[in-house]
């Protein structure tokens, strides 16, 4: 994802300072080794390590920085907005999400379940556009939940380098504890824990941070597990009666990053997805990313767009140049 920012910034003729997340810097280090090997002039692409509260804050506050492009949590995005006010620098923020995945009764059930699992548990749910709220039409709700839970329980969780792993680890102990805390909140709020809900420690998994794929049902819109981004392998499955209610529930959070609709009625799919207030959407699909298309969200999911021409525009300024081809006095004032 760093390349989503670095490539267009350099292509637009800028010099950059890149700060990777402090818990996941290794791929960024390798990338910058490659940049040096291919001969990018010194000082054009720079990487600085450190905590966001120190290094990131300094970058956001600096009068020498013209734009800050950030991918991460909504809370940190707010902090960057405040810090950027010093020199009114441009900001591009790709923030959190609580994205809806709407399944109508006329959808292909197996396909909808399959993408529901992929949309939630890909990357162990640590994906900003994760489809962490599945909305299922009432008439197929029980059947969908039954099949979804059956398959969720079959997911093989383990180290990313293990060939038989379907889902990997949580990024840090702090994030692990945050996810487990949300699971407890869900129980306390009265939701039904239909699958998972615990840390995995058997077969050597106690050496890492692993959580079983977790499914909550019988949830209500006011629950924190429905409204707040958990950023882990936790999904809530909601029930709706008709198209209008599906749209209302889909838009009933502070976020607006992504969303999906599953139906065999093409007209309904297009009609509904247009009404979902989100910047990245799919019909009968979930998660593919196309570098030629804009990526970004509505509401508290961010400001600006990455990828495509839109992503290149983020790193450029518009300038007006006027050239007078009839060079003579304007004659407005008397001689």
Choose, from 22, 33, 128, 173, the residue flagged as catalytic: 128
- Among 53, 69, 61, smallest CA distance to 16 is for 69
94 labelled catalytic: yes
37 labelled catalytic: no
What token pair was written down for 195? Answer: 């699958």
* Residue 265 neighbours by CB under 8 Å, 6+ apart: 104, 106
Residues 134 and 145: their CA atoms lie apart, in Å, by 10
Tally of CB atoms within 10 A around 249: 18
- Among 221, 228, 182, 179, smallest CA distance to 200 is for 179
Choose, from 22, 33, 37, 94, the residue flagged as catalytic: 94
Q: Are the C-beta atoms of residues 214 and 234 closer than 8 Å to each other?
A: yes
Tally of CB atoms within 10 A around 10: 16
Residues 229 and 276: their CA atoms lie apart, in Å, by 18
Active site members: 94, 128
């Amino acid at each position: 994802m760093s390349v989503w920012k670095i490539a267009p910034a350099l292509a637009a003729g800028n010099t950059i300072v890149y700060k990777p997340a402090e818990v996941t810097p290794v791929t960024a280090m390798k990338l910058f080794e490659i940049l040096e090997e291919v001969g990018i002039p010194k000082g054009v692409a720079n990487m600085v390590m450190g905590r966001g509260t120190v290094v990131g804050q300094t970058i956001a506050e600096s009068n020498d920085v013209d734009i800050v492009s950030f991918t991460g949590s909504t809370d940190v995005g707010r902090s960057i907005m405040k810090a950027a006010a010093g020199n009114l620098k441009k900001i591009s923020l790709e923030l959190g999400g609580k994205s809806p995945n709407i399944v109508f009764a006329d959808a292909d059930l197996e396909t909808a379940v399959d993408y529901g699992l992929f949309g939630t548990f890909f990357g162990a749910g640590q994906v900003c556009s994760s489809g962490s709220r599945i909305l299922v039409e009432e008439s197929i709700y029980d059947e969908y939940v039954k099949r979804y839970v059956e398959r969720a329980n079959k997911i093989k969780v383990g180290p990313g380098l293990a060939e038989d792993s379907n889902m990997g680890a949580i990024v840090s102990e702090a994030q692990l504890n945050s996810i487990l805390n949300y699971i407890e909140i869900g129980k306390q709020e009265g939701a039904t824990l239909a699958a998972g809900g615990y840390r995995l420690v058997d077969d050597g998994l106690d050496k890492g941070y692993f959580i079983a794929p977790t499914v909550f049902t019988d949830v209500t819109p006011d629950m924190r597990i429905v409204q707040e981004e958990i950023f882990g392998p936790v999904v809530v499955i909601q029930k709706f009666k008709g198209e209008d209610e599906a749209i209302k529930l889909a838009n009933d959070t502070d976020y607006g990053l992504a969303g999906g609709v599953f139906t065999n009625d093409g007209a309904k799919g297009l009609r509904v997805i247009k009404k979902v207030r989100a910047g990245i959407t799919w019909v009968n699909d979930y998660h593919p990313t196309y570098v030629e298309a804009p990526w970004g969200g509505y509401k508290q999911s961010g400001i600006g767009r990455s990828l495509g021409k839109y992503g290149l525009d983020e790193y450029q300024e518009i300038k007006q140049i006027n050239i007078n081809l009839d060079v003579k006095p304007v004659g407005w004032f008397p001689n």
